[in-house]
Amino acid sequence: MKTRPGPTTRARIRELNGSAVRERRDDLATEEPLEIRVTGAGGEQRTVAITMRTPGHDFELAAGFLHGEGLAGPGDIASIAYCTDEDLPPEARYNTVTVRLRGAVPDLPALERHFVTSSACGVCGSAGLDALHDRCRPLPGDELRLTPGVLYALPDALRRGQGVFGKTGGLHAAGLFTAAGEPVAVREDVGRHNAVDKLTGWAALGGRLPLAGHVLVVSGRASYEIMQKALAAGVPVVCAVSAPSSLAVDVAREFGITLVGFLRGERCNVYAGGERILVE
């Protein structure tokens, strides 16, 4: 019987270093599918997503995904559990999560896409800005302000929270920080969107939403999906160590989010919401 998957997997490799060759074991970031099902109070069950992820914080991933897509808020969730259905083979039971809702399964036109996602591309957002305007409002003005010094320290602070990356070198991360740069929570995954979902799910299940007054830092680029998830969670500042997409910048500007990209060393680009960055 297959055991419950962990965040890392051991593998035998051949390492080449110049003319030297040696056999050794290496730690790899585990990548396995997770099926997210929702069950309504009346017993109706639907599969809403199949995503490739790194095992760990699976319940947070499910809750964060549902919240980010506007399918279920924290108050809508009665319970989350791994599936024990007899029709599932043993190796699939820790790769299938059922979210039990307090009410009925919503009538979801979005299910026509069936939300099949991958760790690489993450097909997990609404079609465009018009759809976002239908269910999200621009963030209210706030007094959150960040100094350049706090910004510059965030990537290293995120890296210190990446325990699995330290072993494998193969994971994305999303971190939540205070305006003073203090870490609040960090989540890792082979999929950058999954890492954000895990973080949002942690906040949703802990009654911490919305995340006003906080900064989201992501290890990769800032995409439309990342900005959509940040908006749904109420995060006013998003920082990425790499580039943003054009649509990510559009979302930030239309919904009042500060977006920082290419945050490396003591430099960065501010694409939107520059009023939250204190500069002389």
Which residues are known catalytic residues? 121
Integer CA distances (angstroms), 150 to 138, 219, 235, 247, in order:
25, 16, 17, 26
- DSSP for 109-122, written as a single string: GGGGTTTB--TTT-
Bridge partners of residue 162, in order along the sequence: none
Handedness of CA 201, 204, 205, 207 (dihedral sign): positive
Exposure of 91 in the CB half-sphere (CA atoms within 13 A): 4
Q: Is 61 annotated as a binding residue?
A: no
The first and second tokens of residue 226, run together, are: 């990342």
Residue 146 assigned ligand-binding role: no
Nearest to 79 by CA among 99, 96, 95: 99
Residue 12, annotated as binding a ligand: no
265 labelled binding-site residue: yes
The Cα 272–Cα 176 span in angstroms is: 19
How far apart, in whole angstroms, are the C-alpha atoms of residue 230 and residue 260?
A: 13
**Is 59 labelled a binding residue?**
no
8, 59, 140, 154, 235 from 63: Cα distances, Å: 23, 6, 24, 26, 17
Angle at 82 between CA 81 and CA 84, to 5 degrees: 115
Q: Which stretches does DSSP call E strand in 131-256?
A: 172-178, 183-189, 214-218, 237-240
Rounded distance between C-alpha atoms, residue 115 and residue 111, angstroms: 7
Does 262 count as an annotated binding residue?
Answer: yes
Q: Which amino acids are annotated as binding site, given as ranges?
A: 262-267
